[in-house]
């Protein structure tokens, strides 16, 4: 990939890197769109709803502080607040005050939220298997896992501006 401005110290992507990066971006965009559409059609949940419900079902008691949930999902405070409000209206979760910290609150999964994730999860897994894992070899699965872990490690080590 040629540099639009060669006067900088930017280490531009070579052709192979640029192709890999663009393919990754296209794959991510298309995969997230398809997963979102199929999840919405199959279960009336968005990917964001699913992410919240998965976090809540993965912890004992199905209850977590809102700030911890936002950190786990890497969501901004306003996104978290708006999304949780929509989920409360749909009775998938409830918000609870924190007795020892008036500024903080908890979010907890409801029986309706548990039912929704129980219904959605098997269908979602079948979709992920069909779109991703059925298309690649076991060696590619291992490579995907290794690559993902390395990039995640880099992201965690590098400070956010």
Q: What share of the chain is helix, strand, coil (3-state, %, to 5)?
A: 65, 10, 25
What is the Cα–Cα distance from 69 to 73, expressed in whole angstroms? 6
pLDDT of residue 109: 98
pLDDT of residue 102: 67
Residue of 57, 49, 51, 60 lying closest to 92 (CA atoms): 49
Give the least confident one: 1-10, 22-31, 87-96: 1-10
Question: By three-state DSSP, how is residue 28 classified?
Answer: helix
149 band by pLDDT with thresholds 50, 70 and 90: very high
At which residue do the structure tokens 């995969």 appear? Answer: 31
Share of the chain above pLDDT 70, in %: 94
What is the Cα–Cα distance from 56 to 129, expressed in whole angstroms? 23
What is the Cα–Cα distance from 150 to 142, expressed in whole angstroms? 12
Q: What does the pLDDT average to over 107-115?
A: 97
Residues paired with residue 105 on neighbouring β-strands, in sequence order = 97
Under DSSP, the state recorded for 107 is: E
Statement: residue 108 has pLDDT above 70: yes
Q: What does the pLDDT average to over 58-75?
A: 94
Question: By three-state DSSP, how is residue 106 classified?
Answer: strand
Domains of the chain: 30-123 (1.10.10.10)
What is the Cα–Cα distance from 1 to 152, expressed in whole angstroms? 25
Share of the chain above pLDDT 90, in %: 85
Question: By three-state DSSP, how is residue 120 classified?
Answer: helix
pTM of the model: 0.86
Who's near 140: CB < 8 A, 6+ residues apart? none
Contact 66, 85 (CB under 8 A): no
Statement: residue 7 has pLDDT above 80: no
């Amino acid at each position: 990939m040629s540099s639009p401005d060669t006067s900088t110290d930017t280490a531009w992507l070579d052709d192979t890197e640029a192709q890999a990066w663009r393919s990754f971006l296209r794959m991510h965009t298309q995969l997230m769109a398809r997963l979102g559409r199929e999840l919405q059609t199959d279960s009336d949940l968005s990917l964001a709803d699913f992410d919240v419900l998965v976090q809540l079902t993965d912890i004992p008691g199905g209850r977590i502080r809102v700030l911890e949930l936002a950190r786990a999902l890497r969501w901004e405070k306003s996104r978290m607040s708006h999304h949780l409000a929509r989920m409360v209206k749909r009775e998938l979760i409830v918000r609870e005050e924190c007795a020892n910290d008036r500024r903080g609150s908890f979010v907890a999964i409801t029986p309706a939220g548990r039912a929704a994730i129980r219904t959605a999860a098997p269908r979602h897994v079948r979709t992920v298997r069909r779109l991703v894992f059925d298309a690649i070899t076991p060696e590619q699965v291992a490579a995907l896992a290794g690559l993902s872990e390395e990039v995640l490690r880099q992201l965690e080590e590098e400070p956010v501006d």
